[in-house]
């Protein structure tokens, strides 16, 4: 079977994205400038990013039989993402979201609704069915299934990258421990460490996950901080992305970074090359998306 760069098990969403000039006050009406329906979610965004960067991707998590799930699967398939390993059932579904992005302030609000079970299945797919996949991406949706597959990937010497945004249960920490490449948004990293210092949060990640090949904290348009397993203790490197675009919709940029990073990791890039590749591809996607508005 042909190798696949990235396997995802987690969150898929069917997003209704509205773009407005700026957020109004209470009880006001405002007309949206654009409206777009698209696949989102932590894992959905990363899978789409992987194929946009020239890689290959597969989804092996839950899908429902409702209209939103069918729409998501259709879009994934159209983009070349393999969904043959997906676990389909009537009690599963995808997250349905309304995202309102304000162009002037560069901020957004997300209103989501979960329709059924989402993310990884606790017992499926079979391990043998995933042996052709090079890198696993995990998130916090379907924790028992995520942990199960992450441990299998690590046992077979393949990297596991995490994109986790909240600490729902103690099992979340177990999942992070099972990852070889820990990439977390700044807010969640600070929460985990109980600090308001990104540098201290990075050192906490490294000290509590000594076997991880990479600990990285993303900081939006500021880039981020990282330390590698091979670094000296308390090392703290900074990466700076290409020049950011002011006043633009950045919805999904973190997911895109993870997907691009996984493709580079699958292709055996060095750690620094993986980070530079992910940052550059994310910036290019952002430019393309916002130019399309004009």
Q: Two tokens at 133?
A: 């996949």
Better-predicted residue by pLDDT, 245 or 229: 229
Contacts for 30 with CB less than 8 Å, ≥ 6 apart:
20, 21, 24
Q: Both tokens of residue 30?
A: 């405002």
In this predicted structure, what is the pLDDT of residue 290? 62
**CATH assignment at residue 57:** 3.40.1190.20
Is residue 202 situated within a structural domain? no
pLDDT tens, position by position, 113-154: 998 999 999 999 999 999 999 999 999 999 999 999 999 999
Residue with the two structure tokens 């397993």: 229
Work out the average pLDDT over 183-197: 96
Phi, psi (5° rounding) for residue 39? -75, 135
Q: From the CA atom positions of the chain, what is the Rg in Å?
A: 18
| Residue 19 lies inside a defined structural domain of this protein | no
Note whether residue 33 is domain-resident. Answer: no
- The confidence score (pLDDT) of residue 115 equals 84
Sign of torsion, CA 236 166 219 54? positive
The answer to whether residue 80 sits within a structural domain is yes
pLDDT band at 293, cuts 50/70/90? low
Tell me whether residue 105 is in a domain: no
Q: What is the mean pLDDT of the chain?
A: 93
pLDDT score of 103 more than 90: no
CA atoms within 13 A on the CB side of 114: 12
Q: How many domains does the chain have?
A: 1
Supply 246's token pair: 């002011």
Average pLDDT over residues 36-43: 95
Taking residues 62-86, report their average pLDDT: 97
Higher-confidence residue of 136 and 293: namely 136
What pLDDT, on the 0 to 100 scale, is given for residue 247?
47
* Residue at 259 is within a domain: yes
pTM (predicted TM-score): 0.93
Under 8 Å between Cβ of 114 and 93: yes
Q: Reply yes or no on whether the pLDDT at 38 is more than 60.
A: yes
Band of residue 252 on the pLDDT scale cut at 50, 70, 90:
low
Owning domain of residue 282: 4-11+41-91+119-179+241-291
Question: Does 193 map to a domain?
Answer: no
| Mean pLDDT to the nearest integer, 100-106 | 88
pLDDT, mean of residues 259-276:
97
Is 284 part of a structural domain of the chain? Answer: yes
The pLDDT confidence band at residue 192, using thresholds 50, 70 and 90, is: very high
């Amino acid at each position: 079977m042909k190798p696949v760069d990235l396997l995802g098990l987690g969150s898929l969403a069917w997003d209704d994205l509205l773009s407005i000039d700026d957020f109004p006050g209470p009880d006001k009406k405002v007309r949206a400038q654009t409206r777009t329906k698209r696949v989102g979610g932590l894992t959905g965004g990363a899978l789409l990013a992987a194929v946009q960067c020239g890689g290959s991707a597969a989804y092996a998590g839950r899908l429902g039989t409702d209209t939103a799930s069918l729409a998501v699967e259709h879009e994934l398939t159209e983009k070349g993402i393999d969904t043959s390993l997906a676990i389909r059932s009537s009690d599963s579904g995808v997250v349905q979201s309304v995202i309102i992005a304000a162009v002037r302030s560069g901020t957004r609000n997300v209103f989501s609704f979960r329709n059924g079970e989402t993310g990884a299945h606790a017992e499926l797919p079979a391990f043998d069915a995933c042996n052709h996949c090079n890198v696993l991406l995990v998130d916090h949706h379907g924790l028992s299934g995520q942990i199960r597959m992450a441990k299998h990937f690590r046992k077979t010497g393949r990297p596991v990258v995490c994109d986790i945004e909240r600490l729902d249960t103690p099992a979340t920490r177990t999942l992070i421990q099972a990852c070889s490449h820990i990439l977390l948004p700044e807010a969640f990293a600070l929460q985990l460490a109980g600090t308001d210092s990104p540098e201290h949060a990075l050192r906490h990640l490294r000290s509590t996950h000594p076997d991880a090949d990479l600990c990285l904290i993303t900081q939006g348009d500021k880039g981020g901080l990282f330390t590698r397993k091979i670094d000296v203790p308390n090392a703290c490197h900074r990466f700076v992305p290409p020049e950011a675009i002011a006043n633009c919709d950045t919805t999904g940029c973190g997911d895109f970074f993870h997907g691009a990073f996984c493709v580079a990791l699958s292709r055996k890039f060095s750690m620094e090359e993986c980070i530079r590749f992910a940052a550059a591809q994310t910036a290019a996607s952002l430019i393309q998306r916002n130019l399309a508005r004009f």
